[in-house]
Chain A
Amino acid sequence: MAAKTINITLKIWRQKNCNSKGNMETYTLNDVSTASSFLEMLDQLNEQLINDKKEPVAFDHDCREGICGMCSLYINGRAHGPDNGVTTCQLHMRMFEDGATIYVEPWRSAAFPVVKDLVVDRSAFDRIQQAGGFVSVNTSGRTMDANAIPIPKEDADKAFEAAACIGCGACVATCKNGSAMLFVGAKVSQYALLPQGKVEATQRALNMVRQMDDEGFGNCTNTGACEIECPKGISLDNIARLNREFLKASLVSNK
């Protein structure tokens, strides 16, 4: 498909820093190639803003190939915009009509405070991960080869699917309750399914859920919106598994 160019109007959240009150600003951007990605379009806008001696729009990005989980953006009421199963860096301007008005907002969550403009602090996810999203391995030099433990193919596949979570936070941004259950569900599942992870399963479920609650995320009400908007297609199966793991853990844990 030959690339053409479109003219668009952007309504973007501008916020100086975490303490200031932000507001939506309107920009017009002409001659945007439909072959460019959404982030390339924002680069083009920033070039225009710099040329006009204005402050460029801050937004998160890194690998620009959909695997790092760094880009975010709530575009026209959808996390990562109108395409399915993609991150914002994989979203192309061909998804928009000429003359379109596009709303660009940061993830909205009490646990993800805005740092500047469209950049939010997602370190809450890191702290949840640190609370239990790992397996303890002896590194004294006699580490066992992980492949020496037989794992049923089906379990390995499910664990891999859960591990596909890139921690972008689209689930939280999409959820009407700002719940992080899909993220925590995926992180708990990827270990719960494997023999190496079963050793610490009880404490993992308890600690990660406690950290999730402490960070101020909302409660899951099973609307299923997260599963639809997740760029990696993480399934609600993982939330159900977390529900089982936590129930089991709270009944058997000594703590």
Chain B
Amino acid sequence: MSKSVLLKSSLAKKYWMAATGLFLCLFLVGHLLGNLQLITHTGESGRRAFNEYAYFMAHNPFIKVMSWMTYISILFHIIDGILLTVENKKARPIGYAHAAGTKSSTWSSRNMALLGSLILVFIVMHGAHFWYKAKVKHDMLLHKVTVQSPNGPAELYVTTAGSYLPVQGVKVKNHTEFFEPSVDIKLGEGYKDLHSVVIAFFSGKETNGVPGNENALFAVIFYVIAMVVLAFHLMHGFASAFQSLGARHPKYTDTIKNVGNGFAILIPLLFAIIPVIIWKLYN
């Protein structure tokens, strides 16, 4: 097997585009299932459940492998997409004076590069809003609860072991680890309060010490628009990936197209209603 064939040829680029695209579709499903907990559970138990889930996602070795595959897929999908677009522009140096008709292909299929670029802008923004705070910046507040005791309200950290530690009585190291201050014994590990970060971001209201986002309504609108863009990208991308991999047959091609259209509408729609519902709940 020639090494260059599976990397350089025009078809190989399409195989990689399809494979990474389909993997990213799987990622979308996983990401959505996690996000839906923001609206399926409410109150303190919802906050706890979401933060537990976020902790699991950050620590489970299988999820870690999947997340690295996701980063690599996004990168490959982008690089491959740019290479294909540049080559495709070169293939027609002089354009037509009379614009091509629009009846023989769908708008989505002709604008995948534009849609993909817009999604990239969204991914960068979305990464800055949440991923960067959780993974890189490390200044996210820890999950804290206030309980009423006979001596008045007391603030407690929730540990990943399910116990509670007094905020005043422990020292935090490495952002999430609790230590006994005098003898330096590790008492446990706490949850980052990603739930409150999300709620504060989309509701605009101060949430458990996380300041409210002043542009919450703008953020909600931006996220909804981004999901519309994603829907159009998937409308062509899902079924197209199967065609690129040669999976086409009268028996199942219609099913793939229908599933693709359903996927393209349902997944972005469910993603989009989450910020809308959060905003509605607090405003």
What residues of chain A have their CB less than 8 Å away from a CB belonging to chain B? 11, 13, 24, 74, 76-78, 103, 105, 108-111, 174, 176-179, 206, 209-210, 212-213, 216-225, 228-229, 236-237, 239-247, 250-255
Contact = CB atoms under 8 A, between A and B. Distances in A.
A221 B248 contact: no
Nearest to B83: A219
B2 A110 contact: no
Given A111-B91, A213-B8, A250-B5, 8 more contacts: A11-B97, A11-B98, A78-B100, A103-B98, A108-B95, A209-B11, A212-B10, A253-B2
B16 to A, nearest CB: 12
Contacts of B88: 176-179, 218-219, 221
A209 B99 CA distance: 29
16 contacts: A13-B97, A76-B98, A105-B97, A176-B100, A206-B2, A213-B9, A218-B92, A219-B88, A220-B10, A220-B244, A221-B88, A224-B109, A225-B104, A225-B105, A229-B104, A243-B14
Counting from the closest, the 8 A-B pairs by CB-CB distance are A218-B91, A244-B246, A178-B91, A240-B248, A103-B98, A243-B246, A177-B88, A228-B104
Interface residues of B, number: 43
B78 to A, nearest CB: 16
Nearest to A224: B105
B226 to A, nearest CB: 22
B15 interface: yes
Contact of A240 (B5, B87, B243): B243
Interface in B167-211: none
A251 B9 contact: no
B104 A251 contact: no
Interface string B92-136: 111111111101111001101000000000000000000000000
B247 interface: yes
B240 interface: yes
A108 B96 contact: yes
Contacts of A229: 104
B43 to A, nearest CB: 47
Nearest to B11: A246
B144 interface: no
A74 to B, nearest CB: 6
Nearest to A178: B91
A174 B104 contact: yes
A178 B86 CA distance: 12
A241 B253 CA distance: 13
Contacts of A174: 100, 104
Nearest to B2: A255
Most buried by A among B104, B239, B244, B248: B104
B15 to A, nearest CB: 7
A109 B91 contact: yes
B59 interface: no
Contacts of A209: 9-11
Contact of A222 (B1, B6, B11, B236): B236
Given A177-B88, A243-B245, A250 B100 contact: no
Most buried by B among A103, A105, A222, A251: A222
B273 interface: no
A149 B91 CA distance: 41
